[in-house]
Amino acid sequence: MQVKIEHLTKRFGDFTAVEDFNMVFDDGKLVALLGPSGCGKSTILNMLSGILPSTSGKIYFDETDVTNVPPQDRGVGLVFQNYALYPHMSVLENIAFPLEIKKVPKEERNKKAEEMARLVHVDQYLHRKPKELSGGQQQRVAIARALIKQPRLLLLDEPLSNLDARLRLEMREEIRRIQLETGVTTVFVTHDQEEAMSISDKIVLMKNGVLQQEAGPQELYDNPANLFVANFLGNPPINNLNGYIKDGYFVLEDESGKIKINNPNVKEGQQVVMGIRAESVAIKDGDHDFEATVKQRYTMGKEELAFLNIGNQTIRVYLSSDYEFKEGETVFVKLRDKGVFLFDKETGVQI
Amino acid sequence: MSVKKLKRETHPDYIFNRKYEPLIYLVPFAIGLLIFTIYPIINVVIMSFKEGYRLSGNYTGWGIGNYQFVLTNKDFLSAIKNTFIYVLTVVPISTVFSIIIANLLNQKVKGMAIFQTAYFLPMVTSSIAVGISWRYMFNKQFGVINWLLGLFGVAPIDWLGATAGQAPWNIVVIIIFGIWNLMPFTIILLLSGLQNIDPLYYTAAKVDGASSTKIFTRITVPLLAPTIFLTMIVNMISAFKVYNEVIPFWSGKAGVLSNNLYTMVYWIKETFYSKLRLGNAAAASIVLFLIILCFTLLQRWIQKHFNY
Ligand SMILES: Nc1ncnc2c1ncn2[C@@H]1O[C@H](COP(=O)(O)OP(=O)(O)OP(=O)(O)O)[C@@H](O)[C@H]1O
Ligand SMILES: [Mg+2]
């Protein structure tokens, strides 16, 4: 099912939690709603499920306007952050409960629930109570419960945030597997950019209730619309160098270095921020862009992370461990074309 | 000169303090418990085995005569029967009503605070004083209850009186009064239990289309079960000790006939204070204690096997 959102707005009193949000979620795709805490992700999700009424705007499921349709008639499956499994019911009863509500005969709904349990790999725990399951298993049960009534739309609100790091990796792949197997249109809320990057077909990045950019994970990483998007994605975070434009050059703010710019959109004297991904910096002799001093080095297994001082600003870069630089040594820095962006300092928009 | 410095943890004073200090704090409470609870209980047990025991302290011998007496006494057996009828009606009925009312009070509706206060009023009023006004409400000729029933064409009921040596409605009055008395406390406990239920369960069920009846029976009540059991145990214990509820209606007598409404505590009190048969009263108290104990154990067992 395709979901179309038009001019969706939500206000709590004077506070605008979501502002003029427009979006299309394509049929059978997994979309990640990404953004820092409090940016309105849950609010959007709750408006999609119908739990929360919108202030203005429209929501369409395929061609049907569901803006004023109550939650139970929308055909959505919901997975909560803390799962909200009914503690007094067994795994089987929990999964079967949506069908029990629909008055499906016991035998039939139990058969269906067992099928769902097999899909999410909890079929060996059918008669346990939720508290006798691990976090990951509870998570799977919650997904099975959301899927059993064959929802047209599956909504997951930070489903992995209660799990430890290893389980998180495992469960996000599980969610992707289940989503691909069932082909259900899915919206997945997270504030973890890595999670969003790794499993989604499309990422919708929000800030303070306003859409920043929607794109595939790679596109978002390779071509951020603004400084916020660039800073939000990537680990280690992108480096920011402050400076200004002069005679077709980017000049560092303390004038300790400059680099030729081939960007027709820059204006003379414009205050800009240069965003440089850590992997877009090469250390080499001869032809170089900046001189830098090695401040600190950290081994991270296969490679090394180094802090370099360029003038009075610091950047993080990867060094292959073949190099034997000492802290305090001067090195020559060359920027690659890919992963280097210019942003207007005032508006943050990519130039 | 070298002074060996002991570490705090191994210093003898420290060890002494850590071991015995808590006991010292417990002493005042322990003394109180001993004087006001344990001593009387032991004394009652001893008393119940002394035959012919009088206030003067004289007794004729040891034995189980007191138990034989109370367990064959017509009045005491009728007291047991009345008490059981009272407990087995008042506790379940007040629990069911309280669950429903607590659930209504838990809804987020404007003006609910006023209702909440109204429901808790019985708790802050004296049950004897209220009982006296109930006595007028249940009056056969002028009472508001019969007047209300009359509106529906019901003939006047002789709630507090007797006809032809029978007084079947007497116990109904104290049962209604008992239910009314127990409900506020039960509602408070249940309300706090309800407020501990994560509203997310309701949201989850609503998204799946559950009706409010379904939510109530399949989610609210099971999740409230531990609190329901707790209130039932507490209420059952207090209902077994029914006494105050009997006093206001017949000027201190138990029922309109010659004490047709004996309850166990009423009988014990009368035997002790009016008839001064201390040994009999003590034995009856022990019987009451054992009955309450059995019910409490039974309920605990049920609770354990039905808890999630
Ligand atoms: N019922 C409410 N009344 C007032 N403000 C609210 C209400 N619900 C949410 N908000 C505000 O709306 C904003 C968005 O909330 P929302 O729950 O959507 O954030 P979120 O992006 O899901 O954050 P998180 O990652 O922390 O869950 C927040 O600033 C929050 O304080
Ligand atoms: Mg949220």
Q: Which residues contact B236 (CB under 8 A, 6 or more apart)?
A: B87, B91, B292, B295, B296, B299
Indicate whether A258 pLDDT > 90: no
Domain extents in chain B: 3-48, 67-305
Which amino acid, one-letter code, is at A193? Q
d(CA B32, CA B26): 10
d(CA A181, CA A171): 15
User: Is the preceding omega at residue A105 within 30 degrees of 0, hence cis?
Assistant: no
Task: Give the end of a domain, one of A226, A261, A287.
Answer: A226
Closest approach of chain A CAs to the CA of B201, in angstroms?
Answer: 6
How confident is the model over B251-296, as pLDDT tens digits? 878 877 777 888 999 999 999 988 888 999 999 999 999 999 998 8
Is the domain of A172 the same as that of A280?
no
| B67-305 CATH pick, 1.10.260.40, 2.40.50.140, 3.30.70.1380, 1.10.3720.10 | 1.10.3720.10
Give me the residue label for tokens 């943890």: B9
Q: How many structural domains does chain A have?
A: 2
The answer to whether position A32 is within a domain reads yes
Average confidence (pLDDT) over A168-186: 89
Q: Is A43 in the pocket of ligand 1 (CB under 6 A)?
A: yes
Average confidence (pLDDT) over A285-312: 83
d(CA B31, CA A73): 65
- What's the CATH code of the domain at A332? 2.40.50.140
How confident is the model over B227-259, as pLDDT tens digits? 998 899 899 999 999 988 888 888 878 877 777
- Could you give the count of Cα atoms lying within 13 Å of A203 in the half-sphere of its Cβ? 28
Domain residues for the domain of A251 are: 239-344
Contact check, Cβ <8 Å, B207/A82: no
pLDDT value of position B1: 47
The answer to whether position A290 is within a domain reads yes
Contact check, Cβ <8 Å, B308/A129: yes
Is the domain of A38 the same as that of A154?
yes
Is the domain of A164 the same as that of A243?
no
Within 10 Å of residue B280's Cβ, how many Cβ atoms?
Answer: 25
- A23-29's contacts with Cβ under 8 Å and 24+ in sequence apart are A23/A204, A23/A211, A23/A214, A25/A185, A25/A187, A25/A202, A26/A2, A26/A185, A26/A201, A26/A202, A27/A1, A27/A2, A27/A185, A28/A183, A28/A184, A28/A185, A29/A185, A29/A186, A29/A201, A29/A202
Average confidence (pLDDT) over A321-325: 68
For chain A, the residue count is 351
Give the atom of ligand 1 at the shortest distance from the alpha carbon of A10: 12
- What single string gives the DSSP state of each residue in A119-188? HTT-GGGTTS-GGGS-HHHHHHHHHHHHHTT--SEEEEESTTTTS-HHHHHHHHHHHHHHHHHHT-EEEE
Strands, E assignment, chain B: 50-51, 61-62
Indicate whether A132 pLDDT > 60: yes
Q: Which residues contact A121 (CB under 8 A, 6 or more apart)?
A: A140, A174
Contact assessment for residue B187 and residue B103, using Cβ atoms and an 8 Å cutoff? no
Q: Which residues contact A38 (CB under 8 A, 6 or more apart)?
A: none
How confident is the model over A197-240, as pLDDT tens digits? 999 999 999 999 999 999 999 999 999 999 999 999 988 899 99
Is the domain of A268 the same as that of A200?
no
d(CA B274, CA B266): 11
Distance between Cα A347 and ligand 2 center (Å) = 27
Is the domain of A293 the same as that of A190?
no
Is the domain of A267 the same as that of A149?
no
The answer to whether position A232 is within a domain reads no
Structure tokens at B223: 């999740």
pLDDT value of position A323: 67
Contact assessment for residue B227 and residue B193, using Cβ atoms and an 8 Å cutoff? yes
- What single string gives the DSSP state of each residue in B142-194? T-HHHHHHHHTTPPPP-SSS-BTTB-THHHHHHHHHHHHHHHHHHHHHHHHHH
Which residues of chain A make contact with B197, given a CB cutoff of 8 A?
none
Contact assessment for residue B104 and residue B112, using Cβ atoms and an 8 Å cutoff? no
Average confidence (pLDDT) over B145-153: 89
Average confidence (pLDDT) over A329-340: 87
Task: Give the end of a domain, one of A172, A193, A226.
Answer: A226
Structure tokens at A25: 């979620």
How confident is the model over A96-115, as pLDDT tens digits? 999 999 999 999 999 999 99
What is the spatial order of strands in the sheet that A56-61 belongs to? A15-25, A3-12, A56-61, A64-65
Q: Is A17 in the pocket of ligand 1 (CB under 6 A)?
A: yes
Task: Give the end of a domain, one of A158, A193, A226.
Answer: A226
Indicate whether A285 pLDDT > 70: yes
ipTM: 0.77
Pick from B108, B107, B131, B96: nearest CA to B224: B96
How confident is the model over B84-129, as pLDDT tens digits? 999 999 999 999 999 998 988 888 777 777 777 777 777 777 777 8
- What's the CATH code of the domain at A53? 3.40.50.300
Distance between Cα A42 and ligand 1 center (Å) = 7
Average pLDDT, chain A: 90
d(CA A95, CA A146): 8
Is the domain of A67 the same as that of A151?
yes
Which residues of chain B make contact with A98, given a CB cutoff of 8 A?
208-209
Closest approach of chain A CAs to the CA of B219, in angstroms?
Answer: 8
Distance between Cα A134 and ligand 1 center (Å) = 28
Is the domain of A184 the same as that of A270?
no
Is the domain of A289 the same as that of A140?
no
Do the bridges between strand A202-207 and strand A30-34 make them parallel or antiparallel, or are there none, so unpaired?
A: parallel
Is the domain of A164 the same as that of A288?
no
- The residues of A whose Cβ lies within 8 A of any Cβ of B are 49-51, 71-73, 76, 78, 80, 82, 84, 86-88, 97-98, 100-102, 129, 149
Contact assessment for residue B90 and residue B173, using Cβ atoms and an 8 Å cutoff? no
Is the domain of A209 the same as that of A251?
no
